Amino acid sequence: MLKRLPRVVREQQMLDAAVKVFAKRGFHAASMDEIAEVAGISKPMVYAYLGPKEDLFLACLQREATRLMEAVAAGVVPTARPDEQLWNGLRAFFAFVGKHRDGWQVLYRQSRSEPVFAGELDGMRTRIVELVAGLLEGAWAQSTPGRPVAPDDFLAMAFAYVGAAESLADWLADHADEDPDRTATRMMNFVWIGADGLLQGRAWKA
């Protein structure tokens, strides 16, 4: 029975149920009654463990953001080449979205539509942008040592790549038959072919 489970397990089951309901209904339409029913517990227990709906939604965002960042960080092997690091990070990112589609919807779609929660998404995006910018800078240093480049260029490219990856991940979340690895390959082709050209000194000019 649920009441015999350790507290942390109970909380995870409540969060699992909440993520499922929030993804299906949205923040405003989701009810604590339905969340409690999906979790198989009483509504008072949800309140006792995780607080009102606003606190519960924030706990869902924080858990999904932490899971996503941990998955990406685990995929990026520091000793690999920069392109391999980026590839492994993309594979981990899209694998997470493919496995946790409800979590992605809550993390990306629901939080963006609620200004009070948007900071959680912004914080996650900032960390990922910094990671990608570091990978691009490392690749530049290896392939073109001594050639000057403005640090803002790496940051701007990273923002563009992360934005594209988020949009593609949102598409993946709606296509259950899509293979996350194939999605990662599409993104890698888009990212690295362009980045590799820049690393070789090629750039579009009007």
Residues 98-143 have pLDDT tens digits of 999 999 999 888 888 777 787 878 888 888 888 888 877 777 777 6
Q: Say whether pLDDT at 55 is over 60.
A: yes
Which of 114, 64, 38, 104 lies closest to 46, judged by CA? 38
pLDDT at site 143: 65
What are the tens digits of pLDDT across the range 135-193?
777 777 776 666 666 668 888 888 988 999 999 999 999 998 999 999 999 998 887 77
CATH superfamily of 1-51: Homeodomain-like (1.10.10.60)
Range(s) of the chain covered by CATH 1.10.10.60:
1-51
At residue 3 the predicted structure's pLDDT band, cuts being 50, 70 and 90, is low
| Residue 169 amino acid letter | A
Give the sign of the dihedral formed by CA 203, CA 140, CA 188, CA 20. Answer: negative
Query: Alpha helices, DSSP H only, in 26-150?
Result: 32-39, 43-50, 53-75, 82-99, 101-104, 111-113, 118-143
Q: Tabulate helix, strand, coil % of the chain (nearest 5).
A: 80, 0, 20
At residue 1 the predicted structure's pLDDT band, cuts being 50, 70 and 90, is very low
Second CATH level (architecture) for the domain 62-199 = Orthogonal Bundle (1.10)
Range(s) of the chain covered by CATH 1.10.357.10:
62-199
Which three-class secondary structure state does DSSP give residue 84? Answer: helix
pLDDT at site 4: 63
What does the block give as tokens for 155?
């940051």
